[in-house]
Amino acid sequence: MTEQIRIARVEALGQDPVVLRHPAPRSADGKVLVRMRAGALNFADLLKAKGQYQEPQDAPFVAGLEGAGEVIDAPSSSGLSVGDRVAVSFPGTLAEVIAVPSVACHVIPDRMSFEQAAGFLVAYGTSHLALTMRAGLREGETLAVLGAAGGVGLTAVEIGHALGARVIGIARGPERLETVRAAGAADVIDSTNCPDLKSALRELGGVDVVYDPVGDTAGLQAFGALRRGGRFLVIGFAGGKPSALPLNHALVKNIAIHGFYWGGYRQLDPQAIRTSVDDLLRMFENGRLAPVAGQVLPLERLSEAYQLLRSRKSVGKIVITM
């Protein structure tokens, strides 16, 4: 008899996923079966459910873009063994058992919990590749991180600090700013009490790199604080729309604008992802990174988790346990 598992499925675009029972996937050629222990939510999950993600998918589909669990079956060519603990980045991770390509799996250290690993790949991978490969962040430079208390922003603060940069974290509210400071920010700015972010950043000496997962007015104001030769990383648009960046200023000040989508590197440069994740896991092993699961909720409270994600009030990643 086929095992019945729980999955979180988006039944129609414009709706949040619902938890239901479904037959478990079976072993397939070249695929690795993973019993998932935890999954993490990203802002992209909201966009995907609305049909607005850059890689759209017709409903119905299983939600989730990353998670962690144990290998329960793997082809010999995969290099994985039954019992391996892995972090997974692949569409459809909010299910108790999934079948994925071996390249989507990364063996995690013994001391990394499933809750930590569930939200590690996308957020840390995005920040590490964007800051090192695209922006070329150097020791001693100043990095401004918008949305610094969010799932991806907090990792940019932590990685920027680990790389030797001076980090300025911008977030909403004193509690969230305390988390940002604890992650390594030398200076913090409360965006709820800052009508002129450009001036605030300039008063702190200006910045060399802006990490922007927010967009809209905040991104535009941070752009204005870039020094000559600065780099602007376009990570996302949690603020609702892209920033209208003045390209004439980019020209005059020799500013580079880099769009960055981590998932796109699966086709663009998959080895870059593998190398970056290996570097990140070494940083974790060496105690230079300390992933924090902001809110941990069981699968049956998924609707609450989506509401929390939508409110943008969470600190760090929202993790769903299975």
How does pLDDT run across 3-41, given as a tens digit for each residue?
A: 899 999 999 999 999 999 999 998 877 899 999 999 999
Question: Rounded distance, CA 193 to CA 25, Å?
Answer: 50
For the four alpha carbons of 126, 299, 305 and 294, in that order, the dihedral sign comes to negative
Identify the CATH number of the domain in which residue 89 sits. Answer: 3.90.180.10
Asked, for residue 277, whether it belongs to a domain, the answer is no
Question: Rounded distance, CA 107 to CA 88, Å?
Answer: 9
The answer on 233 and 218 residing in a single domain is: yes
How does pLDDT run across 216-263, given as a tens digit for each residue?
A: 999 999 999 999 999 999 999 988 899 999 999 999 999 999 999 998
The answer on 22 and 38 residing in a single domain is: yes
Asked, for residue 192, whether it belongs to a domain, the answer is yes
How does pLDDT run across 127-142, given as a tens digit for each residue?
A: 999 999 999 999 999 9
The answer on 306 and 259 residing in a single domain is: no
Asked, for residue 286, whether it belongs to a domain, the answer is no
The answer on 296 and 225 residing in a single domain is: no
Asked, for residue 193, whether it belongs to a domain, the answer is yes
How does pLDDT run across 43-100, given as a tens digit for each residue?
A: 899 999 999 888 889 999 999 999 999 999 999 999 999 999 999 999 999 999 999 9
| 152-176: average pLDDT | 96
The answer on 220 and 106 residing in a single domain is: no
Asked, for residue 106, whether it belongs to a domain, the answer is yes
Domain count, the chain: 2
